[in-house]
């Protein structure tokens, strides 16, 4: 029998996986559910988007692996978005990396920069993936509270005192 990796001993079932199972159970019991959990679109894409996807299938390179960095036009659009919405200038060539989702990015950056035993500051409430990935890579989660009184911002002085 193949043994699972030791690192999985500290990893629990993903929070949203449990919640979605609970939602399915409630729905099966006829309960009215408004799901505000995972940000999955509940509306069909605009027809123009669907047509653009269909047209893309006719391109010669559609069946090949894509660039690991995303196409330049996408990276440039992301950089322009950050500039216009947040007044933050980023280089589309060296500071933008499109991903399949946030979990992929959180895992990769954690694998690149965290060692076993490193401490990781994690906001509470926060995205459950922060703690899951911290546990997966063998680092130590250090939770700090966010609250309405501080406008949901971290108390940097309190964090510094934790030392």
DSSP codes joined into one string, 123-157: EES--HHHHHHHHHTT-EEEEEE--GGGTT---HH
Are residues 154 and 120 located together in one domain of the fold? yes
Per-residue confidence band for 33, with pLDDT thresholds at 50, 70 and 90: confident
Instruction: Round the CA-based radius of gyration of the chain to a whole number and report it.
Output: 21
**Residues 160, 146 share a domain:** yes
106 and 94 in a common domain? no
Quickly state the pLDDT bin for 114 (edges 50, 70, 90): very high
Say what the pLDDT of residue 57 is.
Answer: 87
Q: Which of 96, 143, 152 is nearest to 123 (CA)?
A: 143
Domain region containing 112: 100-163
CA 96 to chain centre: 15
Domain count, the chain: 2
> Do 155 and 105 lie in a common domain?
yes
Residue 131, domain member (yes or no): yes
Confidence of residue 73 (pLDDT cuts 50, 70, 90): very high
What does the alpha-carbon distance between residue 10 and residue 117 come to, in Å, rounded to a whole number?
Answer: 13
Question: 121 with 140, same domain?
Answer: yes
Q: Are residues 94 and 108 in the same domain?
A: no
**Per-residue pLDDT tens for 85-102?**
999 999 999 999 999 888
Residues 129 and 148 in one domain: yes
Domain boundary among 80, 98, 116: 98
**Is 29 contained in some domain?**
no
pLDDT band of 4, cuts 50, 70, 90: confident
Residues 80 and 133 in one domain: no
Kindly state whether residues 74 and 119 are assigned to the same domain. no
Determine, yes or no, domain membership for 141: yes
pTM: 0.68
Residues 84 and 114 in one domain: no
């Amino acid at each position: 029998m193949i043994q699972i990796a030791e690192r999985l001993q500290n990893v629990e079932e993903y929070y949203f996986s449990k919640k979605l199972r609970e939602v399915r159970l409630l729905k099966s019991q006829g309960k009215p559910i408004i799901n505000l959990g995972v940000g999955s679109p509940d509306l069909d894409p605009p027809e123009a988007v669907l047509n653009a996807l269909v047209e893309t299938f006719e391109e010669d390179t559609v069946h090949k692996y894509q660039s690991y960095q995303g196409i330049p036009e996408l990276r440039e659009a992301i950089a322009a978005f950050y500039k216009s919405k947040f007044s933050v200038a980023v280089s589309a060539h060296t500071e933008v990396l499109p991903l399949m989702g946030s979990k992929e990015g959180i895992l990769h950056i954690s694998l690149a920069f965290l060692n076993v035993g490193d401490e990781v500051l994690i906001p509470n409430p926060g995205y459950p993936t922060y703690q899951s990935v911290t546990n997966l890579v063998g680092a130590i989660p250090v939770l700090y509270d966010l609250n309405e009184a501080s406008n949901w911002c971290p108390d940097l002085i309190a964090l510094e005192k934790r030392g």
